[in-house]
Amino acid sequence: MIKTTSILATVVWLVIWAHDSYAVGSTSSYGTNQDLNVTQQLDSGVRALQIQGHNSSSSASASGISLCHTSCSILNGGTLENYLGAVTDWVKQNPNDVISIFIANNDNLPVSQWDKGFDSAGLKSYTYSLGTDSLAKKNWPTLQDMINKNERVVVYMDYKSDTSQVKYILPEFKNVWENAYDQTKLPFNCTADRINGTPDEMMYLNNHFLDETQSVLGQSYSAPNVDQLNSTNSVNTILTNSNRCARQTGYYPSFLLVDFFDKGNGTVFQAAADMNGVTYKATDIPSASASDSSQEINSGAFALDPLNSLALLSALTLTVLIQTM
């Protein structure tokens, strides 16, 4: 069990992040990382979303961005506006929740295009602006501050952010560091991989997903290793990995990135609960598509109890609360 004696460890509220959260399909489809759509992901307790944007050929997109996995010929998840519109609906209906969106800007599209997408999807007015590029993690506002301002969507982008142009799209690697992604074997390598600063000032995003190389239409790409999912997403693997990485790097994650978060019968939420020392109430995670032979492990999952999470937050000093995101 994780030690939660220091305040930093105590407030590590892992948010299960749905890796390539628009890449919805059964575990047997090419290029998919999740089998529930974004509304179902958020309803189930996921609080951080990752999207990968590509230059769009769709005239339906005001921003000119489509969400694809690696290449739009492998998996095209539709326009940015369509995806963010569903997020806007959810954010409106859940006024006490704060979510994060991580953008992988694979085609290095100008930040103004992303801004157009957030704006036309109605999500821009809910975004949070730090007022600067980055803050040391201890200086971040609290979740309650964000809820009070009704600015409950924190947006990070890996490359081409520019807060002088679009103030709410924050440079990810000045605020959050990551270990390497697309790893293909356990135990995970937790050395800092992408970072622009020092780990003790920044939040930590743990890439906790296992890939294998596949090839389709002559292109090879990394795909989730679905045969290993029940082990990768198990409570034991997550806690063992988090403990080992914390011994090595000194930090527990603020964000835990997983594929097919619903696989493992809610284990990813249970592991997050254990690390945070908070209680959960079971929530129904919807059944995945009928073509998915592993859907029987979806029942009886746990999700973060928002009331407990908020109670936990308000009991702690303000400065460290954002790490619970």
Ligand X SMILES: *[C@@H]1O[C@H](CO)[C@@H](O)[C@H](O)[C@H]1NC(C)=O
Minimal distance, residue 324 CB to ligand X, in Å:
25
Q: How far apart are CA 103 and CA 112, in angstroms?
A: 14
Among 165, 299, 314, 317, binds ligand X (CB under 6 A): 299
Minimal distance, residue 193 CB to ligand X, in Å:
4
Among 300, 307, 314, 317, binds ligand X (CB under 6 A): 300
Whether 102 and 51 have beta carbons less than 8 Å apart is answered as: yes
How many other C-beta atoms are found inside a 10 Å radius of the C-beta of residue 160? 16
* 6 token code pair: 């220091």
Torsion angles phi and psi, residue 115, rounded to 5: -60, -40
* 19 token code pair: 């890796």
What residues have CB less than 8 Å from 94, skipping those under 6 apart? 42
Instruction: From 187-195, 205-213, 240-248, 272-280, give the range in contact with ligand X by CB under 6 A.
Output: 187-195
Indicate the residue among 34 and 40 with the shorter CB distance to ligand X: 40
Alpha helix (H) residue ranges in the chain: 7-10, 38-44, 80-93, 111-120, 143-149, 172-175, 229-232, 235-249, 267-276, 306-314
Minimal distance, residue 113 CB to ligand X, in Å:
8
- Residue 88 sits in the site that holds ligand X (CB under 6 A): no
**Closest by Cα among 88, 157, 156 to 121:** 88
- Residues 243-282 as x/- pattern, contact with ligand X by CB under 6 A: ----------------------x-----------------
What residues have CB less than 8 Å from 122, skipping those under 6 apart? 84, 85, 88
Indicate the residue among 86 and 312 with the shorter CB distance to ligand X: 86
Helix (H) / strand (E) element for 153: namely strand 153-157
Indicate the residue among 214 and 228 with the shorter CB distance to ligand X: 228
Among 4, 29, 39, 58, binds ligand X (CB under 6 A): 39
- Residue 205 sits in the site that holds ligand X (CB under 6 A): no
Q: How far apart are CA 45 and CA 314, in angstroms?
A: 20
- Residue 58 sits in the site that holds ligand X (CB under 6 A): no
**Closest by Cα among 298, 271, 282, 313 to 16:** 271
- Residue 230 sits in the site that holds ligand X (CB under 6 A): yes
- Residue 73 sits in the site that holds ligand X (CB under 6 A): no
Q: How far apart are CA 110 and CA 165, in angstroms?
A: 10
- Residue 297 sits in the site that holds ligand X (CB under 6 A): yes
Indicate the residue among 134 and 207 with the shorter CB distance to ligand X: 207
Minimal distance, residue 64 CB to ligand X, in Å:
6
Among 4, 26, 29, 37, binds ligand X (CB under 6 A): 37
Alpha helix (H) residue ranges in 180-228: none
Q: How far apart are CA 260 and CA 271, in angstroms?
A: 15
Among 10, 21, 27, 40, binds ligand X (CB under 6 A): 40
Indicate the residue among 100 and 234 with the shorter CB distance to ligand X: 234
Instruction: From 37-45, 137-145, 205-213, 305-313, give the range in contact with ligand X by CB under 6 A.
Output: 37-45
Residues within the interface to ligand X (CB under 6 A): 37, 39-40, 55, 57, 86, 107, 109, 180, 189, 191, 193, 230-231, 234, 265, 297, 299-300
